[in-house]
Structure 1
Amino acid sequence: MAEATPMDTDPQQTENPDGMYPIAVLLDELKHDDVSLRLNAVRRLGTIALALGVERTREELVPFLDESIDDEDEVLLALAEELGSFVEYVGGPAYAHVLLLPLENLAAVEETVVRDKAVESLSKISTVFSPGQVEEHFLPLVKRLSSGDWFTSRTSACGLYAPVYDRCTPAIRDELRKGFSVLCRDDTPMVRRAAATNLSKMIGKVSKDHLIADLLPLFNGLSQDDQDSVRLLTVEALIAIAKVLSAPESKTHLLQVMRNLCSDKSWRVRYMVAEKFVEMSKAVGDVLVREELILAYVHVLKDSEAEVRTAAATQIPGFSALIDRDAILRNILPCVQTLVSDASQHVRASLATHITGLAPLLGKDNTIEHLLPLFLQLLKDEAPEVRLNIISKLDLVNNVIGIELLSQSLLPAIVELAEDKQWRVRLAIIENIPLLASHLGQDFFDEKLSNLCMQWLGDAVFSIREAATANLRKLTEVFGVDWAKRTIIPKVLELSSNQNYLYRMTTLFALTTLAQVVTPEVVKDLIVPTVITLSADPIPNIRFNVAKSFEQLTPILRKPELGNTLNGDVRGTLNKLNEDPDVDVRYYAHRALIAAQ
């Protein structure tokens, strides 16, 4: 019989601290053939460690886990995550270094997500180390990973320099910069990608002198890498560097790199530049924006790739806010006018989301002259997404040009979209109606949009009917109960006698929703009698929804202003429904009666 190893011994069937699960079972699960059981055990490593105690955890459990590295990626990912929070289980910061070995091995596995999680946990653990522990335990680990034969360990090493850099002596910092520079020039593209990703973190740690002397050459090299997947990652580093340098220094050290990135032969690099253009512009300062980046941005807006133009369109209001109005009219607006008719609907949709942000920057007169025609064109776009995006931002326009011009110019298009054959378009209109109503005013709404709101209650699509009932509640909150009592509620009550059962069903939903925002008087005199009438409907679905409606209304019906309504007519109706031949009606009636007690 083979001799038992420490982890094979039965720890006296120790119960976990909650007294629920034998530790021996969890230990067995760590070695089980079933992946799901091993994963469950890894997720409960803290329970095992608490039962074993800090000494046995250090001497037995952690070495055992280190030997278990050859496992499914899902299990290894969970293990890498758990070990990052394991410091207290091994005895605190003084013993945290014992966790480095299994995490070092995890940082070298083939699966990227496991390595990334191991690096994250190593960085987390390094924060509890003293400077002495960093030098004695952590730096040797970083050096081993940096010099590993297989690229996986070197990619992980790239993320471990910045976390400890500022807690090292000047001499060791020099070593760290040299070690990181070697990784930036690694022969393997995957390692250079990892170095480029972590370069901005290093930039935030080093002094300005060392940034210019040591990291800028690395940045320049990576920005000219033959792999576009490396070059695109240097945009973040450029922004980080620009935040440290002064405007003249940025012009000296970064201008040519920015020019190269903006006109890079790879669309993926140009896409990253377009996506970060505002952030980059703010970092380099006003002078460079005026002298160089306006024309560079125009170049990006006119890019040959739709993906780049889509990203550039998202930056229009942000970048325009950095330049004066004349520059917007002279340089940006012509590009916007072109993008409105772009062949790609994704570009037009992106533009529709952000074009309204130009209105506050251009002012009333320029918005009316230059932007309103573009808004109208986008509102008539063949792509629903484009129309939805422009509608959702119209409040920005209203704040600039006023309600009168908005209603004259844009509302006809909105009314047309409210009857669009695409139900998602109609849904988006409904969701924006309360906002439009607050801007348009009660009279205009009653004249132009009130009938549309009622039409939606009978829509063939349930999501539209549901949204329409919520819309009535929001409109009541905007215009007041008196308006609802005079305008909306009578029309809703008429639907209760409609031959189409969907209209009668929607009446229930609408009245139940409106009851939350109207006065007790309206509930007692108008809503409750109508719901009671519907309790005799021939359709069982209507009857059990009556019961559900009363269950939801119970808190309101308890108010003193409603007198004996709950215990009188409502309870009598529910008792009758509780004897209904349909089982579902009886079920919901019984629930409502319980709620009413």
Structure 2
Amino acid sequence: MSVDAESIESLMQAITGLSFSEEEISKNYEKIPPYLRLYEVETAEKLRVVRTLPVVASNLGPSKVKDVLIPKIDELITAAINNGEDELLLEVCRQLGTFPHLMGSANNIVNLVPPLGRVLSSVEEVVVGEAAADALIKVVAELSSTLIETNCVPLIKTVFDDDLYCSSRRAGCRLIVPCYAKISSNDIRSELKSRLINAANQEEEILLVREAAVTQLGLLAQSASKDRAEILASLVTLSNDNHRDIRAASVRSLLDLVKLYGEKELESTVYPVLERYAEDSHRNTRQNFAAHIAEFQTVFNKIGKQLGPLFIRLWEDNEPEVRRASAKNLVAFADACSKDTLNSQLVPKLKEHLVNEHDDRVRREIIAETARLLTKIRKEDSTELVKTVVSLITESGSAGAKQAVFDHLKDILAVTPPADLKNTIIPSLMKLYSDQNWRVRLGVVKNLPELMSAVDEAQISGTLVPAYISWLKDSASEIRDSAAQALGRVVKDHKSLTDGIAKSASLAALATEGNYQFRKVWITCAVELMDKGAASCIPVLVPQLMKLSSDKVPNVRLAVVKALVRLATHFDANIIKKDIISPLVELSKDEDADVRFYAEEAVSKQIYNKHVKDAKPVPRSAAGGGGDAKSSSASSFGAASAASGSQKSSTSGSAAKPASPADKKAAATAGAGKSGGKDLKK
């Protein structure tokens, strides 16, 4: 990013202003220009200045960054430390982490170590220390062995030897491995290794520091090939530590280490540790082991050792979080273990857990993993699992389990024979026709179209279509809209059903319902039928559609106009001239601005515009029923249905006139509340 010299100078002055000490401020307040008094502004303004540091650095060049910018940043860090501005220090460290590639040679980059080191050793806040460590790790990656030995190693010694904050030692643990990997001196490498192991093993040390040291041991082993035996022995000891967090932290480090080991150590040393993890007295350790057991199985495949019994033990744990961690790794473990373990141990237990698991979160994970596992197991097993999963829809009292099945129904259907779709799954779904939970009903509405390829047209017209028409009257708006779209999909694939649906008395009754939301749903459904179905339905639906053009509720008239815009290419000249153009011209003069806007857009289309001269005045009628439906976020479905068909504004006596189409949509669902779909209650 290129910035002019004047802007850079202004930014430099701003950075200078941030570094004034309280003493300098009190002595020289009148001499300090107002634009440099950034110590008086909000923290957000200071952060904005600090975030310009990379821009300044990229424009100054490596030499000036080292000689000019870094000293100013150093002053800024001093001022922030003295004033206790941790948020500012955090942002400075984050920005300095981007400097290595802007400073050219390693001799320039090494100048970042002192200011970052001061933050690391002087600030108690853990997050700030971690940010300083992150930046220093990026700096170390660009330095030579000599520069690390002369600049970074002394910093590590200071952090561990001086009586500093525990956050400093915690962050310092993360510096040891990057430095160890690049240093050539065996003595210094040995010293760094000893510091890390001692920090992990010392029971007198603060827990946060010990935990950080333990998590680094596995990474250290990747570089310390000669010291792996010592590190393994240390981790074996730590796996039996008195503190639960240390035992839990040792799991990941042990995994990193065993990936480097041969067969002998895996069988004799590591496997007993894994058994201890699976039986640990605290759930954190068991949960952490469950999250990584698939990776351990991949390692143990080298010696043909199966961890199936350990996995099942964790899967049957009395703590839901442990069972959940196991369930989330079911497919990964199935991929790692042998086919015999999968078929003889995991699959039978899977059927059992699908039925007997009582925790909804665990069961959702099991259902999700089962759907992904179906293609990896034997056909006879997958058929049984499908039946078990589908049975959850009707036999389980849990709405969460039903919803989980719907979330993964496509994967389940992909391996289900057509006969089972027709004889098992469709009847199971239809049993949930009027489930009390609206999300369950929504799952049925959205997933039934996936099954249409497995059923004949007679079953679609006799079972599915009536169900979808009834869902158009559901109390949840999302279900009504999904049902209308599903009918569009039905007629798209089975055009011969279009006329029957269009002439349905149940559907036609929606167009004259007292509640305006049902009239809107009828319009949505009519659009889907005319857009995707047979053209023969257009003469049936257009007259009623145009009657709604004079509805008392602006939202309904707006829906009519939008329908005309979308369907313009579907209408022939006779339909336009006979039924459409006159009401459309009247709508272009509507009292509602949004209705006029879309009506004018429709009239401007050539297919309508050429018939404008044939338009005749249309008297305004009380379409959609009499009276006014009251707009209230507390109104129920029964009250809204009993009320009349128009919508009045809750703040005035005139018809509702939202300022924009987006507001119009919000107004249309004002009576719905914001309950995620329960907008109308029976």
Mapping 1:62-141, distance limit 5 Å: 62-69=74-81, 70-87=83-100, 93-108=106-121, 109-141=123-155
Q: Give the one of 211, 220, 227 matched to 1:202.
A: 220
CA apart distance, 1:542: 0.7
Moved more, 255-264 or 337-346: 337-346
CA apart distance, 1:548: 4.1
8 Å contact kept, 2:422–2:454: no
**2:143 aligns to what SS in structure 1?**
coil
CA apart distance, 1:191: 0.9
Query: What amino acid maps onto 2:97 in structure 1?
Result: G
**2:154 aligns to what SS in structure 1?**
helix
**What TM-score does the superposition give when structure 2 sets the normalisation length?**
0.72
The CA RMSD measured in Å over matched residues stands at 3.9
Q: Which has the higher contact order (CA 8 A, sep 6+)?
A: 2
Q: Give the one of 432, 452, 456 matched to 2:467.
A: 452
Q: Give the one of 204, 208, 211 matched to 1:190.
A: 208
Say if 1:509 and 1:30 are closer, same or farther in 2 by CA, change over 3 A.
Answer: farther
- Is 1:579 the counterpart of 2:589 in the alignment? yes
Runs (5+) with no aligned partner, structure 2: 18-35, 610-682
| Cα distance in 1, alignment partners of residues 548 and 272 from structure 2 | 75
- Is 1:44 the counterpart of 2:82 in the alignment? no
| Cα distance in 2, alignment partners of residues 323 and 142 from structure 1 | 46
**1:449 aligns to what SS in structure 2?**
helix
CA apart distance, 1:261: 0.3
Deviations 1:170-198 (A, max 9, x none): 52433432332222224221111112223
Query: What amino acid maps onto 2:131 in structure 1?
Result: K
Mapping 1:340-359, distance limit 5 Å: 340-359=355-374
Mapping 1:79-478, distance limit 5 Å: 79-87=92-100, 93-108=106-121, 109-149=123-163, 150-169=165-184, 171=186, 172-186=188-202, 187-207=205-225, 209-211=226-228, 213-285=229-301, 287=303, 289-290=305-306, 293-321=307-335, 322-325=337-340, 328-330=343-345, 333-334=348-349, 336-337=351-352, 340-368=355-383, 372-373=387-388, 375-377=390-392, 379-438=394-453, 444-472=459-487
| Cα distance in 2, alignment partners of residues 193 and 118 from structure 1 | 19
| Cα distance in 1, alignment partners of residues 78 and 485 from structure 2 | 57
1:57 counterpart residue number = 69
8 Å contact kept, 1:145–1:156: no
Moved more, 385-394 or 126-135: 126-135
Deviations 1:13-41 (A, max 9, x none): 97426x9x766456437523422222222
Query: What amino acid maps onto 2:7 in structure 1?
Result: N
**2:550 aligns to what SS in structure 1?**
coil
2:29 counterpart residue number = none
1:10 counterpart residue number = none
Say if 1:57 and 1:474 are closer, same or farther in 2 by CA, change over 3 A.
Answer: farther
| Cα distance in 2, alignment partners of residues 80 and 341 from structure 1 | 51
CA apart distance, 1:84: 0.9
8 Å contact kept, 1:146–1:154: yes
Identity of aligned residues (%): 24
Say if 1:426 and 1:331 are closer, same or farther in 2 by CA, change over 3 A.
Answer: closer
Say if 1:135 and 1:509 are closer, same or farther in 2 by CA, change over 3 A.
Answer: farther
Say if 1:221 and 1:448 are closer, same or farther in 2 by CA, change over 3 A.
Answer: farther
| Cα distance in 1, alignment partners of residues 157 and 579 from structure 2 | 81
| Cα distance in 1, alignment partners of residues 434 and 200 from structure 2 | 58
CA apart distance, 1:306: 2.3
8 Å contact kept, 2:498–2:533: no
**1:276 aligns to what SS in structure 2?**
helix
Q: How many residues are paired up? A: 572
Deviations 1:156-177 (A, max 9, x none): 0121233344332152433432
8 Å contact kept, 1:345–1:386: yes
Deviations 1:555-594 (A, max 9, x none): x8579x9899999997875543232123443355456668
**1:161 aligns to what SS in structure 2?**
helix
Runs (5+) with no aligned partner, structure 1: 1-12
8 Å contact kept, 2:526–2:541: yes
**2:7 aligns to what SS in structure 1?**
coil
- Is 1:504 the counterpart of 2:519 in the alignment? yes
**What TM-score does the superposition give when structure 1 sets the normalisation length?**
0.82
Say if 1:457 and 1:136 are closer, same or farther in 2 by CA, change over 3 A.
Answer: farther
Say if 1:23 and 1:310 are closer, same or farther in 2 by CA, change over 3 A.
Answer: same
| Cα distance in 2, alignment partners of residues 483 and 494 from structure 1 | 19
CA apart distance, 1:51: 7.0
Say if 1:401 and 1:523 are closer, same or farther in 2 by CA, change over 3 A.
Answer: closer
| Cα distance in 2, alignment partners of residues 427 and 121 from structure 1 | 49
2:552 counterpart residue number = 538
